Structure 1
């Protein structure tokens, strides 16, 4: 349950503290005093969207802090522990701040957490019911959502149904796409296949373009290359050549180096260093001889072959054509890379065509699974509708509608959608024999408030009548109710408060008279700054507040009527430890 809520800098509220008790807590106050801001603050604490416009004029931020006391093992404490929050003996501190610039921060158990975590915790901690819920019931979709959320078996069936629905949607979308793209796919397959056939016919090899370029150069300039090689060979080792060595004393480099070595060795007896120089001359002679052999080998390989030159140039032209067509003028390696990518694409395109028959079978099986899941969901909803009808009828008959019957009608639509194939209508028959109609059409304003209270309680209780959340908050659920019906609403809220903490914002004395704790929101205005405070009223203060609610004044007569009302309200047992 909530022990305390502190609100600062929110709307007309400067700084207000709500000390809540177990059982029934009633909040009253003059119109405009700030009761709505109290609920707005609570909404922020439960993860609702922040609005910077709500920050009090002149304040840097709005801050809402709450202290909740929960039994060990409660889902809220487990979720808080997952978020890294610190708790002590089941006490959890929740905080939310909103700056004047719109920045929002959330804290749980002393740790900063995402706003979404507050929303998760809030769903397990507090059930808020306001006048807007009555408007939401005008939507048939909200009837379905209310029924589904009230029953664990329906939620489980829905959780199993939704993946089946998404699978059918996904498979059908894939099949439709493949069918729609069939023509384009065939065109692309034809182009790529033709390209692969073209490349395969030429059969290029990595690096072939560079090799042919070099060979083309050799064949095209064979005469010049032979002449250069022959002259070099003659210079190195001598031999037949038209080149004139001039008046040199030797006919070749090798002969000259040999003569130089002989000359150096002649002086070796006179100076050992000459022997070293002679050896170096010999080494150079060996190198020159090897170089000459290599030049001779090159010379022998250079041929004037017009037929081979033509072949090389034709092959280079073929490779160039492939390069321009498939590699934007790049190399043979780029052409080969394109062919690999094209082959992979062709395989994918052919797989797509081959997948269509298999996809049809998958769609058929997925639809069969969806229909089975939809049938299970329908069965679960029918059972849940019966349980909800019994519970809600029992509740509404305790609210001065003793002959009313609430039911949930399930109508198959014949078409499976995201939430199944059922249309849900929550209906009311106000009297025996009266036709059951949608609650928003069959109930008057006052009746609708009571019906909403009955539905709220019925959907939040388990089969044993234990509430699923520790705290209920009702915002003027008694709107449009008066007289005996108002008293019955107060009595039902008080009885609900036996098993859960209940917080009610009301303007009816008949409801406020049942409170275990009565809080009043009062606004003072010094002409410049408005501030609201919240305080507990007891004794004569409470009588005066009840009198104000009943008669609009606190005259002696009004106070006496308030005393009688308070005395006639059935006293509730003491709440020693509060609801679980």
Structure 2
């Protein structure tokens, strides 16, 4: 339920707040006062396109916001949370801000969100019926939806089986089509992959071997230089014949320091460090001798290593850039080859699954058609009864259900509403057989018929009573009041007969000081409703006759 609606600098309305309640609420006011701005505000909260002209002249921005109680059965909380917003208990706050420069911002649960999200959220919270919305009833999908709505659980139970089966059937058909249409491309891909895998298999690369091979290549290619360097260093450290090698010199230094040992701690420490150098020289010299003896000078091995590196480099150019990438490409390609090699098996399996699924899908579609045809007469009968109460006693509604061979998301049925306003007139499609006023009453009649099955908690009617008067207007008010037993109903109306049936009454008043026009919205207490109804009846609220008629209307509504 919509609890609170706030408007600021929107059109002629400078500022207004509406505390909304359950039941039937009407909004009335003189022509041009701005009562439809309330519906415009709801449209903005539904994600409608932002119009720069809606910002009040002289204002920097216009804003609308609403607090709405969220029913448990909706996905509103999940969607708001996913967008970064949050609910206050079971209440979500939606908002829209329009700047005078043409920018707009949408808010849900305190988070800035795309305007399209407001559309998604409010589809579950609000349904608006205006003179422009009547044209939805002309669409085949909307006509089928009305019939399905009346069919209720019986149809929904079959749809719950049909929809997933249809979805899987479509997936199979799409996959089979792709497999058949691109057979040549897949054959070429298979050949290319197999050739690549053969190249990789011929080389048999091993993870990490490239680094080892490059290190070995470096040693083999520079073996002579390595031996020469190690031998020279060994001789300088430990094997000089004239006693000038490093090890002999360090030994002499150690002996000289030993002669003064024990007289000074600092010199003794230095002597110890010189001895350590001698030990280290012995170890390094021995290691250099071993290294020189162990260096391999093998041109044949060098050739083998270089050929192996060339083979790995060739693979990397084709399938790399690194050896790890080559190995990953090989792994993925093997899986792809396995898949392509078994396309025929896949096609056979998919065709078998499709052939098994199709009979049950056809059976479910036939059951959907049977339920729709059974419901069609009931929808026509109930709607005609409502139309008769709306001063259309001769109106006839025919609900035609035709079935095709084509499987679709909702079955194989096409639903069309045919309408005749008078006896003797042939029923015609709504687009050709119903005027704007007749469409208004037909839509209202359908809403009443489907009222106890509606899942939308709030219904808004924007002057759908245009072109209606007298007894028909009374019946419109009575039916809107009846709808309010199942949902929160808001109606913008110019008819006192409709307004009299409201549980709550808001009045939009216009003030023009000659320079600026502004409007205010306020809830009318019961004692002021007579004056407003009198104004709507006679154009003046102080007419005794009009006030008496207004009281009669209120009494009539109270007794209904």
What SS is found at the alignment partner of 2:57? coil
1:571 aligned residue? 556
1:327 aligned residue? 316
How far apart, CA to CA, are the structure 1 residues paired with 2:14 and 2:262?
A: 118
Q: List aligned pairs for 1:376-525, cutoff 5 A.
A: 376=364, 379-380=367-368, 382-383=370-371, 385-386=375-376, 388-430=379-421, 436-462=427-453, 468-469=455-456, 471-497=458-484, 500-512=487-499, 514-515=501-502, 519-525=506-512
Deviation of 1:543 (Å): 1.8
For the 8 Å contact 1:168–1:367, the answer to whether it is kept is no
- Which stretch has the larger CA shift, 75-84 or 24-33? 75-84
For the 8 Å contact 2:460–2:490, the answer to whether it is kept is yes
2:204 aligned residue? 200
Deviation of 1:211 (Å): 0.8
- Which stretch has the larger CA shift, 128-137 or 370-379? 370-379
How far apart, CA to CA, are the structure 2 residues paired with 1:505 and 1:444?
A: 21
1:138 aligned residue? 138
How far apart, CA to CA, are the structure 2 residues paired with 1:479 and 1:486?
A: 9
1:96 aligned residue? 95
Q: Rg: which structure is higher?
A: 1
What SS is found at the alignment partner of 2:31? coil
Deviation of 1:215 (Å): 1.9
For the 8 Å contact 2:128–2:459, the answer to whether it is kept is yes
Deviation of 1:141 (Å): 2.8
The 1:518–1:293 alpha-carbon spacing in structure 2 relative to 1, beyond 3 Å, is: closer
CA RMSD of aligned residues (A): 5.1
CA-to-aligned-CA distance 1:508-554 (integer Å, 9 cap, x gap) = 45544555555543322222211123453433442232123xxxx78
Deviation of 1:214 (Å): 1.2
Deviation of 1:452 (Å): 1.1
How far apart, CA to CA, are the structure 2 residues paired with 1:365 and 1:371?
A: 11
- Which stretch has the larger CA shift, 446-455 or 259-268? 259-268
The 1:418–1:285 alpha-carbon spacing in structure 2 relative to 1, beyond 3 Å, is: same
- Does residue 303 of structure 2 align to residue 314 of structure 1? yes
The 1:397–1:373 alpha-carbon spacing in structure 2 relative to 1, beyond 3 Å, is: farther
What SS is found at the alignment partner of 1:527? coil
For the 8 Å contact 1:9–1:63, the answer to whether it is kept is yes
The 1:103–1:339 alpha-carbon spacing in structure 2 relative to 1, beyond 3 Å, is: closer
- Does residue 43 of structure 2 align to residue 39 of structure 1? no
How far apart, CA to CA, are the structure 1 residues paired with 2:198 and 2:312?
A: 15
- Which stretch has the larger CA shift, 564-573 or 469-478? 564-573
CA-to-aligned-CA distance 1:28-78 (integer Å, 9 cap, x gap) = 43332212212112334556554443121222433445577x8x9875899
Deviation of 1:188 (Å): 2.6
For the 8 Å contact 1:216–1:313, the answer to whether it is kept is yes
From 208, 213, 216, the equivalent of 2:218 is 213
What SS is found at the alignment partner of 1:424? strand
When the two structures are superposed, what TM-score results if normalisation uses the length of structure 2? Answer: 0.74
How far apart, CA to CA, are the structure 2 residues paired with 1:353 and 1:94?
A: 53
Count of aligned pairs between the two proteins: 539
1:129 aligned residue? 129
For the 8 Å contact 2:512–2:518, the answer to whether it is kept is yes
- Does residue 335 of structure 2 align to residue 348 of structure 1? yes
Deviation of 1:444 (Å): 3.5
CA-to-aligned-CA distance 1:303-324 (integer Å, 9 cap, x gap) = 87xxx42x23432441343244
For the 8 Å contact 2:230–2:289, the answer to whether it is kept is no
The 1:279–1:121 alpha-carbon spacing in structure 2 relative to 1, beyond 3 Å, is: closer
1:365 aligned residue? 353
The 1:409–1:271 alpha-carbon spacing in structure 2 relative to 1, beyond 3 Å, is: same
- Which stretch has the larger CA shift, 10-19 or 229-238? 229-238
What SS is found at the alignment partner of 1:538? helix
| 5+ long unaligned stretches in structure 1 | 239-244, 576-580
For the 8 Å contact 1:23–1:502, the answer to whether it is kept is yes
